[in-house]
Amino acid sequence: MIPAIFGCSGPELTSEERGFFSKAKPAGFIIFARNVEDPDQLSALVKDLKQAVGRHKVPILVDQEGGRVQRLTEPYWRKYPPMSVFGDMAQKDPTLAASALRLNTRLIADDLRRVGINVDCLPVLDVRQSDADPIIGDRAFSDDPKLVAAMGRIVVDALMEGGVLPVVKHIPGHGRATADSHLELPVVEATVADMDETDFLPFKAMADAALGMTAHIKYMDIDPKQCATLSRVVIGRIIRMKMGFSGLLMTDDLSMKALEGTFEDRTRAAFAAGCDLALHCNGDMEEMQAIASACHLASGKLEKRIATLISEADRAPRPDREDLRRRYEALMEKF
């Protein structure tokens, strides 16, 4: 097994993908809208991905946040609101917001678990800033870091209750970025002292989360040379020491334009900085082959840790979905 998470090109595996995954044996996979047609097709794809690597305890990821970022959607899956809706709700009725968010997340988890997806790249713990690029925007709960932390905890716990592993993102905080890291490298000038009271706070509160995702952002007061994903200083001193994050740390997508250099260079730099897993999303075969060539073999410790996390999620009891739906809709009608 190599410590990489890959995407695939379409709703079914090609023979080339099947052969590559069988040989490379990536740690896991990520699903995008291009891979989704209907529940039966998606379930079959997930099974094929697991068969290709010859393991049952395989992380199958998706970005299922609600709002603008939802890979499984209508007509087969409910359209969920963006997370800012629950942050706004909490300003008026914190109890109602907490209950509605928990049920919303349990329904998302049930959607995913029914088709074999066991990891959701949620919650977004970025603290919204009014002058930032809109790439985060309503994906964030709020501009109040304490509220973001409280809402994030509800999502983390509710996903685990629903048998799905959460991924906190984007460590150490994407809320100040004035550029979209999909397109270019954002640079944040704020001091560590300022970020410690705002951006870092929700991640500190979620230091026990099983999985986290880095931000492709350069923080000038921490490391003026490298973005967080490739920075030993950001990962070691800030994420691991100051925040106390103890979970497995994956890169954000290595194909994003915020990063420069070959895919081999990006991969090696991310591991050298302290990332545990390399994430690549677009399904481009040449890029995946380059990343695989730069990966070391995963340690037995990493393999065991991943399998243990998935086993823990698998033990969650199946919910009464109709009851969840009924209670959720009743609460949302009050807002």
Q: How confident is the model at residue 307 (pLDDT cuts 50, 70, 90)?
A: very high
- Residue 150 pLDDT level (bands cut at 50, 70, 90): very high
Compute the mean pLDDT over every residue in the chain, rounded to the nearest whole number: 97
Amino acid sitting at position 185: L
DSSP 188-253: E---HHHHHHTTHHHHHHTTT-SEEEE---EETTT-SSS-GGG-HHIIIIIIIIIS---SEEE-S-
pLDDT at 48: 98
Which helix H or strand E contains 99, and what residues bound it? helix 94-114
Pick the closest to residue 112 from 155, 157, 145, 63 (CA basis).
63
DSSP state of 33: G
The pLDDT tens digits of the residues spanning 22-74 come to 999 999 999 999 999 999 999 999 999 999 999 999 999 999 999 999 999 99
pLDDT, position 298: 93
Question: H or E segment at 43?
Answer: helix 39-53
Greatest pairwise CA separation for the chain in angstroms: 54
d(CA 234, CA 244): 12
pTM, two decimal places: 0.96
Query: What are the tokens at 20?
Result: 């590559």
Short-list 255, 300, 245, 304, CA closest to 275: 245
The residues that are catalytic are 182, 252
Give SS3 for 89. helix
What is the number of alpha carbons within 13 Å of residue 200 lying toward its C-beta?
22
pLDDT tens digits along 95-144: 999 999 999 999 999 999 999 999 999 999 999 998 899 999 999 999 99
Q: Give the residue-averaged pLDDT of 267-273.
A: 98
According to CATH, what is the number of the domain 2-332? 3.20.20.300
Say what the pLDDT of residue 175 is. Answer: 94
Asked if residues 123 and 139 have their Cβ atoms less than 8 Å apart, the reply is no
- Do 238 and 221 contact (CB within 8 A), yes or no? no
User: Is 335 a residue whose pLDDT tops 90?
Assistant: no
Is residue 283 within 8 A of residue 8, CB to CB? The reply is yes
Residue in 168, 251, 183 with CA at minimum distance from that of residue 215? 251
Tokens of 233: 């200083």
CA distance 318 to 161: 9
Provide CB contacts within 8 A for 329, sequence distance 6+: none
How, if at all, do strands 64-66 and 69-70 pair?
Answer: antiparallel
Q: At what angle do helices 263-273 and 285-294 cross, to 10 degrees?
A: 40
